[in-house]
A = this chain, B = another copy of it.
Amino acid sequence: MKQEIILTGDRPTGPLHLGHYVGSLENRIQLQDAHKQYIMIADVQALTDNYAHPEKVRENVLQVALDYLAIGIDPNKSTIFIQSLIPQIADLTVFYLNLVTVNRLARNPTVKNEIHQKGFGESIPAGFFMYPVSQAADITVVKATLVPVGEDQAPMIEQTNEIVRSFNYHYKTDVLCEVKIALSQTPRLSGIDGKAKMSKSLNNAIYLGDTQEELQKKVMKMYTDSGHLRVEDPGKVEGNSVFTYLDVFDKDKARVQELKEHYQRGGLGDVVLKKYLFEVLNNFLTPIRERRIELAKDPEYVMQILKQGTEKTLVVAEQTLKEVKSAMLLNYF
């Protein structure tokens, strides 16, 4: 297997939850063994729609780092860095903006969709509008060859590759390389309310750092089958969040199959079922939670890890920018 250079990361706008774990974090633990993996804490990107709340972004840089380390991201294998500390990304962004038209940005389906979701209306911050360009800068600054993303993010990567081709064409160079998408295999984890997406803003998330009590409460109010009123009634398994979670987190597949059959023929109550899911999730989250609590006692140590990762990234970013500026004939001295 060829060693890839991977760029991945998160906007530090809240602590990470099980949806992040299933959608990307788990994958990163695998990838860090075989590849060169950069994990970016995207504070600058987080500010594009949180510019009025810098304290939220600031606080969550540490929270996200705690999550990374608690789940097993190994700073000796993965390079974790803070976006705002890599000034070369801003330089590249400014250069790349010349290679993209305003109309092309307006047509980006991911951005269009997010603009709608975030309710910007007519007041779209220019920074948000052009974050695909900034993302191209994130990816190319470390010369990433592979970016693991969900399907909804695929147009962003296409935008990056368009910029790469345009840059190499106009500046008669091959310093930038196109990037491949590693589409996430896992379907998106639904929220505890049964809604398609687990997310902080929908208030339906189980966080990696949730206490046992928080976890219990959330599991107990989880969406099951609204038609399953009495224990003896047959219940539905499809769209039942408890079974969705069991499918993902319970390693005992035979046991899950048994529970599904029992639930479908009736006689298995929601409370019993949820208690079982709680056990499964709690077994999964307990070591993460404990490591997180330990790490949180020494935030300076965690920040030191980010500092070191940032310094490593800076070396690569400086080299990339040097090559880019050289291709653009901006190499004066």
Give chain A's interface residues, CB within 8 Å of chain B: 43-44, 47-48, 51-52, 54-55, 57-58, 61, 82, 84-85, 87-88, 90-91, 93-95, 97-105, 122-130, 133-134, 170-171, 303, 306-307, 325, 328-330, 332-333
Contact = CB atoms under 8 A, between A and B. Distances in A.
Contact of A99 (B43, B98, B125, B130): B125
How many chain copies? 2
B90 A93 contact: yes
B98 A47 contact: yes
Contacts of A98: 47-48, 51, 125-128
Residue in A55, A61, A84 whose Cβ sees the most chain B Cβ within 10 Å: A84
Contacts of A325: 84
A121 to B, nearest CB: 10
Contacts of A126: 97-98, 100-102, 104-105, 130, 133
B51 A99 contact: yes
Contact of A94 (B58, B100, B134, B170): B134
A97 B125 contact: yes
A57 B125 contact: no
Given A52-B170, A54-B170, A87-B90, 7 more contacts: A48-B97, A54-B329, A55-B329, A85-B332, A97-B130, A99-B127, A103-B123
B330 A58 contact: yes
Residue in A104, A128, A329 whose Cβ sees the most chain B Cβ within 10 Å: A329
- Which 4 pairs across A and B sit closest by C-beta, in order of nearness? A97-B127, A98-B127, A90-B90, A51-B98
Contacts of A134: 94
Nearest to A129: B102
Nearest to A123: B101
Nearest to A48: B98
B332 A47 contact: no
Given A87-B88, A124-B102, A133-B126, A43 B97 contact: no
Contacts of A94: 44, 90, 93-94, 127, 134
A53 to B, nearest CB: 9
A331 to B, nearest CB: 9
Contacts of A328: 47, 54
A127 B61 CA distance: 30
17 contacts: A43-B330, A52-B170, A54-B328, A54-B330, A58-B329, A85-B333, A87-B87, A94-B134, A97-B125, A98-B128, A101-B123, A102-B129, A103-B123, A126-B130, A303-B332, A303-B333, A306-B332
Contacts of A329: 54-55, 57-58
A123 to B, nearest CB: 5
Nearest to A167: B51
Residue in A57, A84, A100, A126 whose Cβ sees the most chain B Cβ within 10 Å: A126
A44 B91 CA distance: 10
Residue in A122, A125, A170, A306 whose Cβ sees the most chain B Cβ within 10 Å: A125
